[in-house]
Amino acid sequence: MSAAGLALRLDGAGLGYGGGAVLSGVDLEVTPGEILVVVGASGSGKSTLLRALAGLLRPHAGRVLADGAEVTGPSPDRAMIFQEDGLLPWRSVRRNVELPLGIRKVARAERRRAAEEWIGRVGLAGYEDRLPRELSGGMRQRVQLARALAGAPRAVLMDEPFGALDAQTRAEMQRLLLDVLRDTAATVVFVTHDVDEALLLGHRIVVLGRDGVRTLAGATREQIVKEL
């Protein structure tokens, strides 16, 4: 059984780089097991917010919390998926997927079993021994998804993971993501600039727009665009 999803929270968080503020006074709660989509234009602070939840960026004001405990750095409980797949080019598909399990010192036989299960679940059975250079962009993103989920994280933080894919491959990856997440309890925070993608994937949508951070439930495309 999958571990319960993390409750994530930003409590009056001020986020930025080198003393400059990108987002100020952000209050946001993500409930365990939900898919929260953050949408906004380029430069609105979407990736900054995600990096703070991942523990890659410390707030200069307020707090970032996971299950009520302050986030002070990265954790295996919070997996990050980027637009660039970040696969190790010298490792096979199987060995890339095994990576988070190896870091956790999981026994070799169990690593292999879990990796092959997830490789199959993302539709790449038969490609276990291929290197990343032998795969298409969409296939590499499938490997990245399998690698993230093989470690059984309690939250998955996704930074425009399908943004570089062509329209058909992107639609396939969106369907795959929804299908795979049905079998996990993980909390998901998904960043995108694509309103249609946000509407397809999100249980709730947060808009980083002209008036700051707004949470919308049951919003239409027109309402979201108006907030941007």
pLDDT tens-digit readout, 119-150: 999 999 999 999 999 999 999 999 999 999 99
* Residues with Cβ within 8 Å of residue 223, at least 6 apart in sequence: 216
pLDDT at 176 over 80: yes
pLDDT tens per residue, range 16-30: 887 677 888 899 999
Domain 1-77+155-227: CATH architecture, name and number where available: 3-Layer(aba) Sandwich (3.40)
Residues 83 and 76: their CA atoms lie apart, in Å, by 19
Q: Taking residues 207-215, report their average pLDDT.
A: 75
| Tens digits of residue pLDDT in 48-67 | 999 999 999 999 999 999 99
Q: Which of 58, 62, 54, 72 is nearest to 6 (CA)?
A: 54
Query: What percentage of the chain's residues is helix, strand, coil (to nearest 5)?
Result: 35, 25, 40
Rounded distance between C-alpha atoms, residue 33 and residue 167, angstroms: 28
